[in-house]
Structure formats: C-alpha cells, structure tokens
Amino acid sequence: MSFKNLNLNTPLYNALDDLGFTSPTPIQEQAFNVVASGKDMVGIAQTGTGKTYAYMLPILKNLAFSNQENPRVLVLVPTRELVVQVVDEIEKLTKYINVRVLGVYGGVNINTQKQAVAQGLDIVVATPGRLFDLAMSHVLQLKSIQKMVIDEVDVMLDLGFRHQLLNIFDILPERRQNIMFSATMTEDVDELITNFFVKPEKVTIAVSGTPLENISQERYNVPNFYSKVNVLKHLLSDKENFNKVLIFVAYKKMADLLFEKIEEHFHDETCVIHSNKTQNYRLRSIEQFREGTNRILIATDVMARGLDIDHITHVINFDTPNFPENYMHRIGRTGRAEREGQALLFSTQAEQELVTDIEELMQMEIPLKEIPEGVQLSTELIEEERPQYKERNNPNKRRDEDAPGPAFHEKKEKNQKENLGGSYRREIVKKYKKPLTRGDKNYNKRNKK
C-alpha cells in the first residue's frame, strides 16, 4: 500500500515526497480511517513504528484554514524533548500548509510562551504541567479544542501525570475526539480509557513483547560496573561498526559516572542526558548526537523514551531493566523505519532473573556471547554493588531488643479526672434533672411543680 491510497491532499503529498516517504507503516495504515472518521481511538504499537504521522496525517488532511486565535488540536506528550521532536515532525508535514504550531513545556520562561500563544495557533504540543499552567493563567484558551491526542500515555502515567491529565480533561470541551497511543496497555491506561473515551476503536499492531524482526540481539554476562565499562570501551573502539550508539543506564548517578569513565577514553565523542541536566544542555546533547558530532549518547529510560533519532546502529543496555517492557522500549530506538539494528544487553549475576523475565516476555532466548579476549574483568565495586554487612556482635551497637521503649508513667491525680463539662451545667443537671433550654425558659419551673 502507498500513501496514494489514503486520499491525502496535494500539500501533504508534496511534504511526504520531500521526506522520501512512499508507503505508510502498519500503524499509519490502520489508524488513518479511524482518526479521519472522528471516532475515539486507542492505538497500541511499539515505539519506532511511526505513531506521530499515524495521527497527524488524518488530522492535517481535515484541518481547514482558520484565522481564529485559539488552538483546535492538542497533543500531549510526557517530556520536553518529545515536544520539540513532535513539533519538528509536524512542521515537516505542514511545509506547504498554512498551519500555526507551537510547543510548550516547563523549564523555560513561561512569559515567552504566553507571548507566543497570544499570537494565535492551530496546534499546540505540550507537556501536561505547562499546558495546565498556561490554561489557568487564561492566556491559553482550550474551548476550541476539537481533537486531543495523548502520545506515550503509559510513560505519562508512570511519571505521575495522572492528576494533571484529569485537570486538563475538566477544562476541555466535552465534544471532542480523543486519540491515544501507547506502547503498552496497563491497568492505569485502561482506567483512563474507560472513564474518558466514548466507544473507542482499538488498533493494535503488535503484542507488547514482540521484538522487531530487524533488530538482532546479544547479551554478555559481566560481573560488575567497572567490568561493564571495560567491555563497553572494547566494543566502542570499533568506530566503523559502532558509529551511532545509544547507551541506557538505570539512574542519573550511574549516567554521570559512566559518562566520566567513557569520556576519558573517547574524548569529545560522548554526550549524556537525564532530568538533572538543564533544558539547553539536553537539547544540545540530542542535537549533537542526531547530527553525528557525538557518536555516543548515554541516557536514562525517561529521557530517551519516544525520541526518534535516525540511523542508531546499536542500543546497549548497560544494565538490565527491572521491567521487561522497558527493555522493549529501549531496543526500539534502533531498527526504526524498517532499518537494521543491533541491541546488546549487559547483565550481572544479580540481574539474571530479570533477563529471564525479558526472554519470557519475548518468547525467545537472547544469544549469550563470550566476553571478548583481552578485556580485563575488574574486582572493584561501586557503592551500590558492595555487600551490606550486618554487625552482629558489636558491643557498642545497641540491639533492637535492648532499645528503650516508649516513655511511660502514671498520670497525676488531677489528670485522671473525667471531663464532665462545665461546673454550671453539672449543677443544673443535679437540681433540675435536665438543663435549662433557651427555647422554653419556663420548662424547668413547670416540671419542678
């Protein structure tokens, strides 16, 4: 099937020709008619399958020219980097169309974004937090939103955006088309669909655990962090094959430590992104990696989720992710647009159970390779790898059973009295058997007779 079968308009065909695209991906082909019909839709597809164009092509086809200032299309994504990427993709598609697109996200001056919103726009791409801030300031009016798209919704919920999403739903028009794309279907995602979508049509391309066929996978059993660094340095020395490498790590501290060790060996070839870096630093790192100025990018899961960077030759899992679905998201960064890709997995003895979970999800075994000759295995451990020893017979360390309990003493006599209320009320009760009421001043006198 080609894009000609989708009955797009000439400006969109011209833009697709400039991009060199001739045939839609499966998710683009199956989602087109559903989105174009105006029905609510839930798309389940792996990362790297062209989800952005899957919803933007039918939306742009039916988006008529308008002079109104308020946006008509809202696209919500979880990270700032994804806002920049989606805006860039939309601008490529709207090269020959008069459409105003704006991306808004936190970490930058909100007043600058308010000024841009006031100029008028048709499509707004945003992270939930900054969108809600702009809406509450009454600068951004959402009353004209006709179509709402939530991309990478599973990541959005994992990052704790549920409350902000619910607030945004409250201020959106009730009559709108809801479009959602996710790589996985979780209970939280299903609950969101049940509560806010109207008879959505589900488009599923592949089971979450199905690996892309054009990605070859291998793994190494490596004892510790510094041994992993040595294996990594050995592999990255082959600059001809490893010419665009994305390395995933578990957390920010490890990302910085690995960057320090790799930068010593491959000076000015490495960059790193995680949430503690400034926005300009993160965007610059991604751009340098995309353009090839740096051939190695070290990233945490959240930062690299959904990023579309062409021609990544290798994805290296420096650690084994705790959730097997995250492994699928990671390796989906390579082998995009039906290109060939390679994925490598480093795992310690403590991570073997996680490897088993990944293989069960994919229903396949990842081939195990021997550590290359000449690679030195280190015995040095980082803080997280060192065993935690418990001091059993330390006389200076108080054991739990010897720990002092809560302080206790008998109450003083005056504090043991029961609080019976004010003295006047008690005396009235003794004398009249019932307190004097404000409603009938003669009540007690009559009863006394």
Q: Considering 176, 204, 232, which residue would you say is the last residue of a domain?
A: 204
> Within this chain, do residues 226 and 148 fall inside the same structural domain, yes or no?
no
Question: Over the stretch 103-159, which tens digit does the pLDDT of each residue have?
Answer: 999 888 999 999 999 999 999 999 999 999 999 999 999 999 999 999 888 778 777
For 93-249, list the strands marked E by DSSP. 101-104, 123-126, 147-150, 177-182, 201-204, 215-221, 245-249
On the question of pLDDT at 425 being above 90, the answer is no
How many folded domains does the chain comprise? 2
- The answer to whether residue 186 sits within a structural domain is yes
359 neighbors 365 (Cβ within 8 angstroms): yes
- The answer to whether residue 294 sits within a structural domain is yes
**Mean pLDDT, range 182-196, rounded to an integer:** 80
Q: Strand pairing partners for 203?
A: 43
Rounded to whole angstroms, how far apart are CA atoms 151 and 153? Answer: 5
- The answer to whether residue 126 sits within a structural domain is yes
Rounded to whole angstroms, how far apart are CA atoms 242 and 235? Answer: 7
Question: Over the stretch 77-97, which tens digit does the pLDDT of each residue have?
Answer: 988 888 999 999 999 999 999
> Within this chain, do residues 161 and 23 fall inside the same structural domain, yes or no?
yes
Q: What are phi and psi of 189, to 5 degrees?
A: -65, -45
> Within this chain, do residues 223 and 317 fall inside the same structural domain, yes or no?
yes
Q: Considering 204, 229, 254, which residue would you say is the last residue of a domain?
A: 204
Most confident segment among 275-279, 398-402, 413-417: 275-279
Q: Considering 375, 401, 436, which residue would you say is the last residue of a domain?
A: 375
On the question of pLDDT at 444 being above 70, the answer is no
**Mean pLDDT, range 253-258, rounded to an integer:** 92
> Within this chain, do residues 237 and 362 fall inside the same structural domain, yes or no?
yes
pLDDT band at 407 (very low <50, low <70, confident <90, very high): low
> Within this chain, do residues 222 and 371 fall inside the same structural domain, yes or no?
yes
On the question of pLDDT at 164 being above 80, the answer is yes
Rounded to whole angstroms, how far apart are CA atoms 85 and 431? Answer: 83
> Within this chain, do residues 188 and 228 fall inside the same structural domain, yes or no?
no
**Mean pLDDT, range 275-295, rounded to an integer:** 87
On the question of pLDDT at 331 being above 80, the answer is yes
- The answer to whether residue 419 sits within a structural domain is no
Terminal-to-terminal C-alpha distance of the chain: 103
pLDDT band at 74 (very low <50, low <70, confident <90, very high): very high
On the question of pLDDT at 36 being above 70, the answer is yes
Rounded to whole angstroms, how far apart are CA atoms 399 and 295? Answer: 54
pLDDT at 334: 86
On the question of pLDDT at 346 being above 80, the answer is yes
> Within this chain, do residues 129 and 259 fall inside the same structural domain, yes or no?
no
Q: pTM for the full model?
A: 0.70
- The answer to whether residue 301 sits within a structural domain is yes
Range of the domain at 57: 3-204
pLDDT at 162: 85
> Within this chain, do residues 168 and 61 fall inside the same structural domain, yes or no?
yes
**Sign of CA pseudo-dihedral 170, 172, 176, 178:** negative
Q: Strand pairing partners for 417?
A: none
> Within this chain, do residues 262 and 366 fall inside the same structural domain, yes or no?
yes
Q: How far is CA 16 from the centre of its chain?
A: 29
> Within this chain, do residues 78 and 196 fall inside the same structural domain, yes or no?
yes
On the question of pLDDT at 247 being above 70, the answer is yes
- The answer to whether residue 187 sits within a structural domain is yes
- The answer to whether residue 94 sits within a structural domain is yes
User: Which CATH number belongs to the domain containing residue 348 in this structure?
Assistant: 3.40.50.300
**Between 122 and 327, the higher pLDDT residue:** 122
pLDDT band at 277 (very low <50, low <70, confident <90, very high): confident
- 352 Cβ contact partners less than 8 Å away, ≥ 6 residues apart: 221
**Between 206 and 102, the higher pLDDT residue:** 102
> Within this chain, do residues 170 and 222 fall inside the same structural domain, yes or no?
no
- The answer to whether residue 32 sits within a structural domain is yes
On the question of pLDDT at 379 being above 80, the answer is yes
pLDDT at 140: 94
> Within this chain, do residues 186 and 251 fall inside the same structural domain, yes or no?
no
